[in-house]
Amino acid sequence: MNLEWMAWTLPTAIFFITIVCILISMTIWQIVSPTVERRGFLPLSTTRGDRLFIGLLGSAYIHLAWIGLTDITLWGGFAIALVWMVVIMRWG
């Protein structure tokens, strides 16, 4: 039986380890200091977890658009996505 396995590269492993660390950190933060819904510039009341999800989803779209629309190195898309995450988590 021939099974195909995903080829784990170092960047892929770092990506998933980072996501797991973020989720663990957010869980600990929630236990230590329960979140309160608040309104920022987003048109809905959000918690820290909501803003994290919106930020990660937006970052994925930024990366996909960067890859699809430019031939520039992905570090530029990463910088924009990082700024997006900071803005969403702080003022979203």
**Residue 2 belongs to a domain:** no
Of residues 45, 55, 46, 67, the one with CA closest to residue 19: 55
In this prediction, residues 14-19 reach a mean pLDDT of 89
**Residue 57 belongs to a domain:** yes
**Residue 66 belongs to a domain:** yes
- Which tens digits make up the pLDDT trace of 33-84? 998 898 988 888 999 999 999 999 999 999 999 999 999 988 999 999 999 9
Domain count across the chain: 1
**Residue 41 belongs to a domain:** yes
**Residue 72 belongs to a domain:** yes
Tokens representing 4 are 């195909």
Q: Domain containing 72: what range? A: 10-91
24 contact partners, CB below 8 Å, separation of at least 6 = none
Q: How far is CA 70 from the centre of its chain?
A: 21
Q: Is 25 exposed, middle or buried (0-12, 13-18, 19+ CB in 10 A)?
A: exposed
